[in-house]
Amino acid sequence: MKEKNHLQIQDFLPYLLNRAAENTSLDFQKTYKDRYGMLRTEWRVLFHLGRYGDLTAKQICTMADLHKTKVSRAVSALERQRFLERTRVPTDRRNELLSLTKQGQAAFGHLQTEATRYHETLVASFTVEEQAILQKCLKQLANFS
Amino acid sequence: MKEKNHLQIQDFLPYLLNRAAENTSLDFQKTYKDRYGMLRTEWRVLFHLGRYGDLTAKQICTMADLHKTKVSRAVSALERQRFLERTRVPTDRRNELLSLTKQGQAAFGHLQTEATRYHETLVASFTVEEQAILQKCLKQLANFS
DNA sequence: CATTGATAGTTACAAATGCAACAAATATCG
DNA sequence: CGATATTTGTTGCATTTGTAACTATCAATG
């Protein structure tokens, strides 16, 4: 005679996360799509290179949690648009080191500013403590399982 | 001579949300994909019908924040697999009311239980207060802009 | 009621993605 | 060394998605 205490499904975390992710990502996309013709994955690769310096595709896969196919295609697109260049690593010629061009660095600089601004509007109504908890929880969920 | 105080890009909210959403969704997908052959959108449509009773496609679009083509295709797939049925509304024959079949209700019942269990494992390491703040923030971000 | 406009839902085509197979370089181990 | 296995990255094909155009029904206006 036990009533199961079910989660209200509209509170289901993966569902909420998806909605929040899609909503904010589509919104921010306006910032880079029209001006730089980038896709979401490309912007993600770009900002890893801007933030962490030269990396191999494999390193980006690991850090950004992206499949190597996605990274491969994003790198090709960014290269075609002259946002980055590749150089083979002589000591292990399977790797190629990816570096932003001047143009790529300029785009990164601009988008970093815009991202900062956008992030701040997103969290504007949250307290500092709430922001910290949100960050903590999301980072844990991003690495869960 | 002003140093801009840039956000650390790995803290950028849309990025964190995407990673957390993808990670948890792919994880939970194991629960419905193999057993019921559903895709993510189909599961989402199913649980809206299970939770809120009969709805039109349009209502699901609004409530779940899904594009009508996605809903249309998910409904077709769910119908093909006999999880739901459609009936034209006589007073306005543009609408069709979607209702779960017995089989659809059974799947919903099962998946609701699994979702509850999975949700609990996700938040197991968070305090009750943290859970509440996370919910509040995510709901706001899901409706932002 | 006839024209025009709006709404619910579908479909066709292009773009993006996931998966598996692949090539090339290196590592391992007899 | 030489055979086999592993790693890095790309490509082909099937699936999924997004966009826009479409059909069918209903509403509004003259």
- Digit-by-digit pLDDT tens for chain A (145 residues) are 555 678 998 999 999 999 999 999 999 999 999 999 999 999 999 999 999 999 999 999 999 999 999 999 999 999 999 999 999 999 999 999 999 999 999 999 999 999 999 999 999 999 999 999 999 999 999 999 8
Instruction: Please check whether residue B31 lies inside any domain of the structure.
Output: yes
Instruction: Please check whether residue B25 lies inside any domain of the structure.
Output: yes
Residue nearest to nucleotide D10 (CA to C1'): A72
Instruction: Please check whether residue A7 lies inside any domain of the structure.
Output: no
Q: How many domains does chain A have?
A: 1
Instruction: Please check whether residue B68 lies inside any domain of the structure.
Output: yes
Which residue does chain A place closest to B145, by CA atoms?
A27
How many Å apart are B104 CA and C27 C1'?
52
Query: Which run of H or of E encompasses B98?
Result: strand B96-100
Instruction: Please check whether residue B129 lies inside any domain of the structure.
Output: yes
Q: Residue A79 belongs to what domain range?
A: 29-142
Would the Cβ of B76 be found within 7 angstroms of any atom in strand C?
yes
Are the CB atoms for A31 and A114 separated by under 8 Å?
yes
CA B40 to chain centre: 7
Are the CB atoms for B144 and A22 separated by under 8 Å?
no
> Which residue in B16, B42, B114, B144 has the most chain A C-beta atoms within 10 A of its own C-beta, making it the best mutation to test that interface?
B16
Instruction: Please check whether residue B97 lies inside any domain of the structure.
Output: yes
CATH of the domain at A104: 1.10.10.10
Option in A9, A17, A118 nearest B115 (CB): A9
- Collect all residues of chain B within an 8 Å Cβ-Cβ radius of residue A134: 13, 133-134, 137
Instruction: Please check whether residue B1 lies inside any domain of the structure.
Output: no
CB contact under 8 A, A9 and B125: no
Instruction: Please check whether residue A57 lies inside any domain of the structure.
Output: yes
Cα–Cα distance for residue pair B64/B66, rounded to 1 Å: 5
Are the CB atoms for B68 and B58 separated by under 8 Å?
yes
